[in-house]
């Protein structure tokens, strides 16, 4: 990791330059709205970025944009993260390409169709496989690597949907609940050691995933708002972060509502 602190002026002297940390970052699911917004924050800091996802053209476009925004280097890797059979081997290849890794963001997932998942076991399995099974494999692979390295951070995108099962999205919510428990367990293992792991739980966010919803009201956040929480979580804070912050208190109330009251709510 390098720090640049000065630059030569046109008059031949030296002038202060904002500190830029050359952080090596792997983003899994880099075409998601939140991931792209987070990558822009890293680019502004002068990071080296490896963008991983399925859409080659979209990844290439994002990489070009990030380079223009200040990233030291941008690379892409085209793969189906949910279909990976050996996350540890593939991760090793990503790290070798980047020359090491400091931060990792896991940002991929699907909302799925709750009504279809209720009627069709294949849809339920798809939601659970993408949002939990595959993500868990990547979490364990990355966590092992960071633990052996003795430093670095992993941020995982979860959801407030995992805090309490609701009729609208309980299959998706179950996957995110499992993901949060896994992250908290790894954070407990990391306690007193160098690495860190955080699950960031956004509330409703204006992204491609929510394109079919009515996205109005004060509880909706932009991808950029969530990205600020994600970037901060990589450096500091506890193992669970809500985005925006007020969802911590909203979900606290929802979790402790008595069932007779909760069951009357259309949420």
Among 20-34, 42-56, 232-246, which is the least confidently predicted range? Answer: 20-34
Residue 2, pLDDT score: 39
Alpha-carbon Rg for the chain, nearest whole angstrom, is: 19
Which of the following is catalytic: 42, 108, 172, 242? 172
Q: For residue 10, is it within any domain?
A: no
Q: What is the pLDDT of residue 145?
A: 97
Is 172 known to be catalytic?
Answer: yes
Residue 86 lies in a domain: yes
11 in any annotated domain:
no
Residue predicted with more confidence, 2 or 191: 191
* Predicted confidence band of residue 85 (pLDDT cuts 50, 70, 90): very high
In this prediction, residue 14 carries a pLDDT of 40
Provide the number of structural domains found in the chain: 1
Beta strands 14-21 and 3-8 are antiparallel
267 within some domain: no
Residue-range definition of the domain harbouring residue 243? 21-262
Higher-scoring residue by pLDDT: 182, 22: 182
Question: Where residue 90 sits, what CATH number does that domain have?
Answer: 3.40.50.720
pTM across the whole model: 0.89
pLDDT tens digit sequence for 201-245: 999 887 777 666 666 767 888 999 999 999 999 999 999 999 999
User: What's the rounded Cα separation, in Å, for the pair 62 and 38?
Assistant: 12
Q: Does the residue 5 lie in any domain? A: no
- pLDDT above 70 coverage of the chain, percent: 89
Q: Is residue 15 part of a domain?
A: no
Mean pLDDT of the chain, nearest integer: 91
151/24 Cα distance (integer angstroms): 13
Instruction: Determine what percent of the chain is predicted with pLDDT higher than 90.
Output: 84
User: pLDDT for 123-178, tens place per residue?
Assistant: 999 999 999 999 999 999 999 999 999 999 999 999 999 999 999 999 999 999 99
* pLDDT of 5 over the 90 cut: no
- Identify whether 1 is part of a domain: no
Residue 3 lies in a domain: no
Least confident of 2-11, 56-65, 131-140: 2-11
Tell me the mean pLDDT in the region 20-42: 92
């Amino acid at each position: 990791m390098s720090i640049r602190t000065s630059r030569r002026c046109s008059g031949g002297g030296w002038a202060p330059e904002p500190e830029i940390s050359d952080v090596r970052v792997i983003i899994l699911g880099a075409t998601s709205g939140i991931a792209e917004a987070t990558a822009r924050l890293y680019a502004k800091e002068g990071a080296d970025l490896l963008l991983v996802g399925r859409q080659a053209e979209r990844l290439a476009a994002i990489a070009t944009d990030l380079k223009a925004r200040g990233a030291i280097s941008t690379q892409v890797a085209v793969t189906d993260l949910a279909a990976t059979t050996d996350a540890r081997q593939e991760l090793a290849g990503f790290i070798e390409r980047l020359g090491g890794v400091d931060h990792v963001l896991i940002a991929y997932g699907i909302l799925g169709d709750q009504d279809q998942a209720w009627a069709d076991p294949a849809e339920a399995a798809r939601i659970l496989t993408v949002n939990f099974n595959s993500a868990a494999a990547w979490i364990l692979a990355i966590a092992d690597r960071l633990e052996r390295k003795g430093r670095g951070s992993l941020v995982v995108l979860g959801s407030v949907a995992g805090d309490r099962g609701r009729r609208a999205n309980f299959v998706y919510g179950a996957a995110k609940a499992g993901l949060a428990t896994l992250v908290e367990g790894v954070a407990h293992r990391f306690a007193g050691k160098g690495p860190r792991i955080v699950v960031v739980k956004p509330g409703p966010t204006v992204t491609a995933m929510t394109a079919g919803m009515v996205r109005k009201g004060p509880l909706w956040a932009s991808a950029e708002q969530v990205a600020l929480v994600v970037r901060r979580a990589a450096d500091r804070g506890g193992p669970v972060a809500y985005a925006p912050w007020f969802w911590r208190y909203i979900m606290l109330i929802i979790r402790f509502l008595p069932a007779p009251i909760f069951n009357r709510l259309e949420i």
